[in-house]
Structure 1
Amino acid sequence: MTRATSLPADARIGRVALLAADRTELVEFYRDVVGLEVHSRGAETTTLGAGDRTLLAVDEAQAASPRHQTETGLYHTAFRVPSREALGGALERIRAQWTLDGASDHDVSEALYLSDPAGNGVEIYCDRPRDQWQTNDGMVQMGTSPLDLEGLKAVADDTDSIDPETTVGHVHLEVSDIEDARKFYERTIGFDVTVDLEPSALFLAAGGYHHHVGLNTWNNRSAPASGSGLAWFEILLPEEAAISALRERVESADYSVTDLECGFEVTDPDEIAIRVRLEGRNDES
């Protein structure tokens, strides 16, 4: 259901940034296993992406401690590929070079799951056509059943790189309290709830998508992240007016904001940083 405070229908997730004590292994994993291309290498940050779109930043901070099992933060970054052929190609890369943690058919999508060398979760998935999605009372019906891996292998493309049309389809977060997170992501940010599994999980999106943000408390995380893991992720909005409206909601809810060149940054109730940026602007900052 669309509300007066909803985000624009074409809002989407932009880049995800990871913090690591040593970025070398992470960069090699996202390049060779996920299939992203290295876009830039700086003194402290390496960026990777698909085609001309940057999707991931890996920031190095040698003093960063490993994420503790009680800390909130990233459950997984979900890279959305545009076809089953591309998903099959991802499966072949994973089988050749890494370990597949899981594979599921979610009715709206088909998904592969794995973990990077630092333990950050990764999903690579392909959506089914939206006219095949089932809804009930405004909620998207998502299931979990075994994925036909052999059928996926049969249609796999043979490229070592991910499809250039790949995007970050969603981010899934581990939070300390679902209701607190719901107040922030639904009522303040403006995502619409698409799947409600309270008290343990919630999925939210803009524009009727199945989810741009997932939230869960499955591992009983309770402390803000203080070391390695998710540094920030982006919400991209199509126009300055939408950014201004969101900033007004955020400030009215008494959250502090930090100015960025083409937007602003705010932290959620678990101190997870979200950057709000204008679509198509300042892609490498």
Structure 2
Amino acid sequence: MPDLLPAPRLHPDLTLHHVELTVGSLGRSLDFYREVLGLTVLAAGDGAARLGVGGRTLLALRELPGAAPAPRSSPGLYHFALLVPTRADLGRFVRHAGGLGVRLGQSDHLVSEAFYLQDPDGHGIEVYRDRPRGEWRWVGGEVRMAGDPIDLPGLLLEAGPPAPWTGLPDGTVMGHVHLRVADLGAAEAFYAGTLGFDVVSRWPGALFVSVGGYHHHLGLNTWQSLGGEAAPGGSAHLERVWLHLPDAEALDALAGRLRLRRVSFTEPSHAGGTLEVRDPFGTRLAFTA
């Protein structure tokens, strides 16, 4: 009897876990992430550190002393996005960042409200809150998103009276990661056709994919990196994106799809281990169960 083909899509309960970045000065980066975002250092030593909220790792840093800033024209990280539990939480972050004089970009995406900044190495960061799923609008299998201005007075009013900043709240998670890619066709073939994400939105020069009906777990764009080359070795860069699947069966199904399509990957060394694969542009994705 012939072998059954692996399940065609990724498991709908996939979640993002954390990202790994290289930085030019670990001390400078730790100061930034503690002061501006209020992340907690969970572990540090030998030129590396893990940071997070409530004991949950959101960011892993590795020092490359004197590394040049992350290039904006190479495939890799566009931004990682930290999802806070409530609109009031987002308002408190914005008030805190404003008090520090941090310059923020902002956008109402209809499904979410988002603010943007960069760390000292040029890595992009988004802090956002989701609107309730019942308010998202789906048309023809794609979720409606936009780039409208945020009602900033209303957001700050919802944050309540000014109070001392205590950092991003418990319940903050890695909501999504947005990547630069060199070719959208190749990106769609890999992320949707091979890995099994669903395409949920298309913009000029960008593609958004997810599972389980989320507005996006990954963004993929060529806005600055169309046909771009890999980042120089001496620059700060994204090392790895970590994603969690709910069980070993889902991880095995992914491995089966990769074998079927003759895509090279690192096999999990044990049950519950890590499957690592590179996208067509060199970005490393690590899947665990």
Q: Secondary structure at the match of 1:145?
A: coil
1:242 counterpart (232, 244, 250)? 250
TM-fit CA distance, 1:62? 2.3
Q: Secondary structure at the match of 2:187?
A: helix
Question: Contact 1:87–1:156 (CA<8 Å) still a contact in 2?
Answer: yes
2:215 counterpart (210, 217, 241)? 210
Question: Contact 2:7–2:253 (CA<8 Å) still a contact in 1?
Answer: no
Structure ID, larger Rg: 2
Letter of the structure 1 residue corresponding to residue 213 of structure 2: G
Query: 2:209 matched to 1:201?
Result: no
TM-fit CA distance, 1:67? 3.1
Query: 2:230 matched to 1:224?
Result: yes
C-alpha distance in structure 2 between counterparts of 1:99 and 1:130, whole Å: 30
Question: Contact 1:88–1:155 (CA<8 Å) still a contact in 2?
Answer: yes
Letter of the structure 1 residue corresponding to residue 224 of structure 2: N
- Where does the alignment leave 5 or more consecutive residues of structure 1 unmatched? 279-285
C-alpha distance in structure 1 between counterparts of 2:94 and 2:71, whole Å: 30
TM-fit CA distance, 1:155? 2.1
1:178 counterpart (184, 188, 191)? 184
1:51 counterpart (50, 54, 77)? 54
Q: Deviations over 1:48-105 (max 9, x none)?
A: 1111211110111226443334321111010000101110111022112242331111
Question: Which residue is 1:71 aligned to?
Answer: 74
The number of equivalent residue pairs is: 275
C-alpha distance in structure 1 between counterparts of 2:172 and 2:101, whole Å: 20
Letter of the structure 1 residue corresponding to residue 52 of structure 2: G
1:274 counterpart (262, 285, 289)? 285
Q: In the TM superposition, what are the counterparts of 1:110-149 in structure 2 within 5 Å?
A: 110-149=113-152
Question: Contact 1:34–1:93 (CA<8 Å) still a contact in 2?
Answer: no
C-alpha distance in structure 2 between counterparts of 1:251 and 1:57, whole Å: 29
- TM-score normalised over the length of structure 2: 0.90
C-alpha distance in structure 1 between counterparts of 2:27 and 2:154, whole Å: 34
- Where does the alignment leave 5 or more consecutive residues of structure 2 unmatched? 1-5
Q: Percent of aligned positions with the same letter in both sequences?
A: 39
- TM-score normalised over the length of structure 1: 0.91
Root-mean-square deviation (CA, aligned residues, Å) is 1.7
Q: In the TM superposition, what are the counterparts of 1:5-16 in structure 2 within 5 Å?
A: 5-16=8-19
Q: Deviations over 1:118-169 (max 9, x none)?
A: 1111100000000110000111011111011121112226332111100000
Question: Contact 1:93–1:160 (CA<8 Å) still a contact in 2?
Answer: no
Q: Secondary structure at the match of 1:85?
A: helix
Shift of the 220–156 alpha-carbon distance from structure 1 to 2, 3 Å rule, reads: same
Letter of the structure 2 residue corresponding to residue 231 of structure 1: E
Question: Contact 1:76–1:172 (CA<8 Å) still a contact in 2?
Answer: yes
